Structure 1
């Protein structure tokens, strides 16, 4: 099926079909609907190679994800893919593990013009190395907020969110609040720990205990919680920097014969579906994960369309979701 046949089926000009395929806003809604219906009925697939030659674009976005096994990352990628497709783009996904060598291999796609831009979710500490590799290519850093620099980014205020958790736990009477954190090479981990410590200071709580999970996984959360339980002074509340770590902590608490939240309250972070699957349901900080992904694509497309557009840093809203675990 050719573009000419689509035009005949829709009763419009070839130029109108072309404008619809290229997402032009100059097409009348009625004509756009007729073209889209003709495309649907004929199962038309545009010639992507011809489109690339005509526009000098690949209409592909490279997405470097630090850990696709993390439910939060997976939700962000859903938002990225949805917004990309809405704007005529496809994504290439690389599970980098914040490994610069793996990232370097994927970034060769930029020099080969196979992708038009890149969205990263790598550890903040890796950004200087990535900057040298990416150069002047359109780039957005997602979910790791940068205070300065030339890279547009989107995230939330991790310090305020973490401090709010401590305030909530203190309000319910918790006196010994521990933190299960992750790798401090991630800026979010440093910021959430800062919010934790600031919250303890504001609430005038002297107890402080931080356990670092070896990885962002259920088993690592369980192991970190077991160490906290074996300490000379046991916490009466635990704040974990991800729902996955919190879920692991909850199993460790249950296996120790303790009750949640009567003996130890638990709060997670991210607001993934996992928080509603555990028992009792997990209180958590909900991030707008898919919206973060969609916003990242919007920022990237601005850079692709206009490389000289100013750097933007977008802070998204977060919400504390109260459930039975705290």
Structure 2
């Protein structure tokens, strides 16, 4: 269905239909109603390329995530998409794996003006390279961020959240609290480990053990927990930097014939649905994942509308959700 046919159905000019599609205030309400009714009855879909030529915008954004299988990333993307759709935008999703070559391929969309901006969730260590590739395109970074600079970002205070977990476990009487961490090229991994170590010191706990999962997966969490259990002294509590790793850790504990939380308490991070699905349910730091996504898109739209606006650094609230695992 073309714009000309819509005009004929509504009994108005093509120019009137065009003004309605572009939300112009100059259209009489009677004519606007006719056009909208014709569009509804004919299931008309605007030609996006034609709109791009008229407005110099594509109404598309690129979202690059490090791992879409990570429940946290998936929830953030849902929030981005919800807010984007409310503002007439669509998203293109790239599962980059924080691989710079894969990122480079996706970022070719910027050169062709196929997207108006970009939201990334890539490893902090990749940000300098991404900065060169992205250039002046409006850009917002989720979760991973620089402490200063020209990139707007949204996240939480990973140090304080991790301190709260360790403080809670210590308050429950645990004295051998271990950490299952991820790749330290991610800033969140470094900050959560920093919070863990700082709180051990504040709680006057000398025992510490850190093991690193190769990826944010159930099986990697299981392997990391097996490493801890093979140590000279068994931990009496484990803090994992994601709910998925924590679920894997619980599986390894059960396989050794041990109980959660009686023998080893377990706490996670993210507040994903998985935390409520495992048995016993998982104590975790609940991040406002969808709200982070919504705020990221709002910041990006501000940058698209006002490219010279200053960068903003938004730190959002989190909550320690206590359940039976700890």
TM range (shorter): over 0.9
Q: Distance in 2 between the 1:35 and 1:321 partners?
A: 51
Q: Distance in 2 between the 1:68 and 1:324 partners?
A: 28
- Does structure 2 conserve the Cα–Cα contact (< 8 Å) formed by 1:221 and 1:246? yes
Tell me, what secondary structure is at the counterpart of 1:207? coil
Matches within 5 A, 1:213-228: 213-228=213-228
Tell me, what secondary structure is at the counterpart of 2:107? helix
Tell me, what secondary structure is at the counterpart of 2:298? helix
Matches within 5 A, 1:56-95: 56-95=56-95
Q: CA deviation at 1:20?
A: 5.9
Q: Distance in 2 between the 1:300 and 1:113 partners?
A: 16
Alignment partner of 1:180 is 2:158: no
Q: TM-score, structure 2 length as denominator? A: 0.92
Q: Which residue of 1 aligns with 2:131?
A: 131
Tell me, what secondary structure is at the counterpart of 2:179? strand
Q: Which residue of 1 aligns with 2:206?
A: 206
- Does structure 2 conserve the Cα–Cα contact (< 8 Å) formed by 1:63 and 1:119? yes
Alignment partner of 1:167 is 2:167: yes
Report the CA distance shift for 1:177/1:128 in structure 2 as closer, same or farther (over 3 A): same
Aligned residues: 326
Q: TM-score, structure 1 length as denominator? A: 0.92
Structure 1 unaligned blocks of 5 or more? none
Q: CA deviation at 1:302?
A: 0.9
Q: CA deviation at 1:34?
A: 8.3
Q: Distance in 2 between the 1:219 and 1:146 partners?
A: 31
Q: Distance in 2 between the 1:51 and 1:82 partners?
A: 22
Decide which moves more: 161-170 or 138-147. Answer: 138-147
Alignment partner of 1:278 is 2:278: yes
Q: CA deviation at 1:87?
A: 1.1
Q: CA deviation at 1:184?
A: 0.3
Q: CA deviation at 1:230?
A: 0.9
Query: Structure 1 residue runs of 4+, over 3 Å off?
Result: 1-42
Report the CA distance shift for 1:238/1:36 in structure 2 as closer, same or farther (over 3 A): farther
Tell me, what secondary structure is at the counterpart of 1:219? helix
Q: Distance in 1 between the 2:141 and 2:316 partners?
A: 14
Q: CA deviation at 1:28?
A: 11
Report the CA distance shift for 1:40/1:173 in structure 2 as closer, same or farther (over 3 A): farther
Alignment partner of 1:255 is 2:255: yes
Q: Which residue of 2 aligns with 1:301?
A: 301
- Does structure 2 conserve the Cα–Cα contact (< 8 Å) formed by 1:145 and 1:156? no
Structure 2 unaligned blocks of 5 or more? none
Q: CA deviation at 1:203?
A: 1.1
Q: CA deviation at 1:130?
A: 0.6
Q: Which residue of 1 aligns with 2:111?
A: 111
Report the CA distance shift for 1:34/1:224 in structure 2 as closer, same or farther (over 3 A): farther
Q: CA deviation at 1:146?
A: 2.2
Q: Distance in 2 between the 1:16 and 1:83 partners?
A: 29
Q: Which residue of 1 aligns with 2:47?
A: 47
